[in-house]
Amino acid sequence: MTLENSTFGNTEPSSLYTEIQTLYKNGATSDTYKVKIYGKWHFLKRPKKEYNSNPIYIEAFEKEFDLGFQLDHPNIVRYYSKGTDNQGFFIVTEYVEGLNLSEFINENPKCLNDRRFIQKIVLQILSILDYLHNNQIIHLDLKPENILITSKGQNVKLIDLGFSSSDCYDSISCGTPAFSSPEQFGNPITADVRSDIYAFGNVLLYLFTGSIQPESINKLPQPYKDISKKCRWNDPSLRYTDISAIVRQIESFQKKKTILASISGVLLFILLFGFGLQSLKRDYIISKRSEVPILQFNEKRVNALFDSTFAAYDHDFPKIELSNLYEAGIRYNAVLFSLSKWKEKQLMTNELTVRPMFEVEFNRIWNAKTNKYSELFTKIQLSAQKQVSSDDAVLRKSIREKLRKLYQPLNDYKEINKNNADESQKLYTQLYSQAMDLNKELSNQLKNNKELSSQLNNIFMRELDAVVSNYTIIRSQFNNTLRH
C-alpha cells in the first residue's frame, strides 16, 4: 500500500488546527501532538519522518483508524479522523488528560494498596477486552503504556490499536516482549483472544505489584493470584477461553466473600453482646467495692521507654541519609513494632476501664516522639525520588546504547524472505536471551539503589521494545505474506 492508493488523502486537512503542541510521550515509530480543533483539544499521531513513506506503516495507520473508528466504548479512546498534510499522514483521536498505568503507579505508589481502585481498573479492562473480542478484534498489545488513567475519575482509556487484528485485517506486528503472549513471537498466525488474556494476566500482576517478575505472583490476593496464573500459561489451551470466564470467577469470589462477611457479622454481634454484659457486670463489681484498677497510666515510665529505645536507635544511626535509608527504615520499623507489642501487653494487663485512657495517652506520646523521624524519612524519600528521576534518564540512555549495540546484527536483515526467515528468527531468539542476561546484570549493579532497581525491569523492557520494533514489523510483514 502507498499513500496515493490509501484513503488518507481524502480526509480532514491540518488547516483546521488553531493550536498545536508537541507531546513528549512519543513512541518508537510515531510523533504525537496535542491539537485544538473548533476550540477542543484532540490527540494527533503521525509516523516519524523515516517511516512516512513506508507502506507497512501506511497500512498500519490505515488499519488502526478503520478498526478504532467503528468502536464505541466508554473506556476506549475515540477515533475521529485521518488525513495528510505537508508532513505526511496522521490520525486524530480523543485527547485524554491523564497518565498511562506505569506513570500513574510510579507517581501514586499507594494505589497498589487500594483494593477498590484496583478492582475498578481490573473490571474496566475486562469490559474493554470483552467488547473488542465480541467485535472480532484482538488488541495484541495490552500493556501499561497503552492503558491511560484519566485525571478526572481515574478511569481507564485504552489506546493504540496499531497491532490489532480482526476478521478483515491481519496483525502486522508481534506486540511487546514483556507483556505479549509467546505465540505472538513464535507463531503469530495462531494468535487469538487467548493472546490478549495472556497479556491481561501480566497487566494484572503489574497492577498489584508494579512488576511482572514471576516471583511477584505470591503478592497477589485471591482470586487475582489464581486468575493471573491461569492467564499466563505458555500453552494457550491451558488459559481461559474467553473474558467472561474471568469475570464469573471474580463475581463468584465476591459472592462468597459477602456471605462469609455476613456470617462473621452475626457472630461478632453475638460475641460483642456477651462481652458487653460481662463488662457491665465487672464495672458494677468494681464500683461496689470502690476499688482502683490495679494499673494506671504512668507517663514518666512510657516517656523513659521511648527515650531509651530511640537513644539506642540514634546511636546506631546518628545520621540518616540516602546511602543508609533502606537499612535505617527496616530498623526503624522494627523499633516501632517492639513499642507496639509493649503497648498491647500493657493493654492486656490493665483493667477494662483503664484501657481507653491508656491507649489515648500512649498514642499522644508516640506521635510526639516519632514526628521528627517521620518528617526526616519523608524528606529523604522525596530527595531520593528526585535523584531517581535524574538517574532514570541516564539509565535509559545507557540501556538504549547497550541494546542497540547488542541488536546491531539484526540490522543486516532489511528484508525477511523464505531464504533467511529461519536464520533471522534464530538470531532474534539468541539476542533476546542475551538481552535478558543483560537485564539481570544491570539489576545486580543497582542492588544498592532500591528505588531505581525496582523500576529497572520496566525501563529495560520499554527500551527493548523500541529497539526491536523495526525488526518485528518486517518479520510480521513476512508472516502476512505466508497467510496470503
What's the pLDDT at 123? Answer: 92
- The beta strand positions in 229-271, using DSSP E, are none
355's CB contacts (< 8 A; 6+ apart) are 347
C-alpha cell at 284: 458494677
Question: With contact defined as beta carbons under 8 Å apart, do 204 and 231 qualify?
Answer: yes
The residue written with cell numbers 521528627 in the block is 372
**What is the enclosing helix (H) or strand (E) of 156?**
strand 156-158
C-alpha cell at 6: 490509501
Please check the confidence at residue 108 and state whether its pLDDT lies above 80.
yes
CA–CA gap between residue 167 and residue 137 (Å, rounded):
8
| Predicted confidence band of residue 10 (pLDDT cuts 50, 70, 90) | very low
Please check the confidence at residue 311 and state whether its pLDDT lies above 70.
yes
Q: Where are the domains of the chain?
A: 8-94, 98-254, 292-382, 407-483
Percent of the chain whose predicted confidence (pLDDT) is above 70: 74
Please check the confidence at residue 326 and state whether its pLDDT lies above 90.
no
What's the pLDDT at 146? Answer: 92
**pLDDT average, residue stretch 365-389:** 69
**pLDDT average, residue stretch 359-365:** 78
Question: With contact defined as beta carbons under 8 Å apart, do 150 and 164 qualify?
Answer: no
Q: Alpha helix locations (H) across 317-354?
A: 325-349
CA–CA gap between residue 55 and residue 474 (Å, rounded):
11
Please check the confidence at residue 373 and state whether its pLDDT lies above 90.
no
Instruction: Tell me the per-residue pLDDT of 206-254, one tens digit each, with 9 for 90 and over.
Output: 999 888 888 888 889 989 999 999 999 988 999 999 999 999 888 888 7
User: Greater confidence, 269 or 174?
Assistant: 174
Instruction: Tell me the per-residue pLDDT of 392-415, one tens digit each, with 9 for 90 and over.
Output: 667 778 888 888 888 888 877 777
**pLDDT average, residue stretch 24-51:** 82
**pLDDT average, residue stretch 79-106:** 88
Q: Phi and psi of 29, rounded to 5°? A: -125, 0
What is the CB neighbour count within 10 angstroms for residue 361? 14
Please check the confidence at residue 112 and state whether its pLDDT lies above 50.
yes
Question: With contact defined as beta carbons under 8 Å apart, do 362 and 429 qualify?
Answer: no
Instruction: Tell me the per-residue pLDDT of 154-194, one tens digit each, with 9 for 90 and over.
Output: 999 999 887 777 644 444 446 778 888 888 877 778 889 99
Report the CATH number of the 8-94 domain: 3.30.200.20
Q: Alpha helix locations (H) across 51-100?
A: 55-69
What's the pLDDT at 345? Answer: 76
What's the pLDDT at 291? Answer: 41
Please check the confidence at residue 132 and state whether its pLDDT lies above 90.
yes
**pLDDT average, residue stretch 50-54:** 78
Range in 270-284, 346-360, 446-460 with the lowest mean pLDDT: 270-284
What is the CB neighbour count within 10 angstroms for residue 190? 12
C-alpha cell at 374: 517521620
Question: With contact defined as beta carbons under 8 Å apart, do 347 and 355 qualify?
Answer: yes
| Predicted confidence band of residue 70 (pLDDT cuts 50, 70, 90) | confident
Q: In a 10 Å sphere around its CB, with 0-12 CB exposed, 13-18 middle and 19+ buried, how is residue 437 labelled?
A: exposed
What's the pLDDT at 246? Answer: 93
What is the CB neighbour count within 10 angstroms for residue 411? 10
Question: With contact defined as beta carbons under 8 Å apart, do 245 and 130 qualify?
Answer: no
User: Whole-prediction pTM value?
Assistant: 0.56
User: Greater confidence, 236 or 386?
Assistant: 236
What's the pLDDT at 27? Answer: 64
Q: In a 10 Å sphere around its CB, with 0-12 CB exposed, 13-18 middle and 19+ buried, how is residue 258 labelled?
A: exposed
Please check the confidence at residue 9 and state whether its pLDDT lies above 90.
no
C-alpha cell at 322: 540516602
Please check the confidence at residue 295 and state whether its pLDDT lies above 50.
no
Report the CATH number of the 98-254 domain: 1.10.510.10
**pLDDT average, residue stretch 319-327:** 70
> At CA 378, angle to CA 374 and CA 382, rounded to 5?
175
Single out the residue of 248, 14, 244, 5 nearest to residue 129, CA to CA: 244
**pLDDT average, residue stretch 451-456:** 61
| Predicted confidence band of residue 100 (pLDDT cuts 50, 70, 90) | very high
> Does the bond joining 223 to the residue before it have cis omega, within 30 degrees of 0?
yes
Single out the residue of 180, 189, 198 nearest to residue 236, CA to CA: 198
**pLDDT average, residue stretch 367-373:** 78
Question: Which of the listed ranges 66-70, 372-376, 441-445 does the model predict with the highest average pLDDT?
Answer: 66-70
**pLDDT average, residue stretch 454-483:** 70
What's the pLDDT at 124? Answer: 93
Mean pLDDT, the chain, rounded, equals 77
Name the packing angle between helices 243-289 and 224-231 (round to 10°): 160
Instruction: Give strand pairing partners of 455.
Output: none
CA–CA gap between residue 192 and residue 139 (Å, rounded):
9
Using the 8-state DSSP alphabet, how is residue 221 labeled? P
**pLDDT average, residue stretch 426-436:** 83
**What is the enclosing helix (H) or strand (E) of 46?**
strand 40-47
CA–CA gap between residue 45 and residue 278 (Å, rounded):
71
State the distance between the two ends of the chain, measured CA to CA, in whole angstroms: 15
CA–CA gap between residue 281 and residue 67 (Å, rounded):
73
> Torsion-angle region of residue 160: left (phi > 0), alpha (psi -120 to 50) or beta?
left
User: Greater confidence, 34 or 415?
Assistant: 34
What's the pLDDT at 122? Answer: 94
Question: With contact defined as beta carbons under 8 Å apart, do 406 and 463 qualify?
Answer: no
What's the pLDDT at 155? Answer: 93
What is the CB neighbour count within 10 angstroms for residue 409? 12
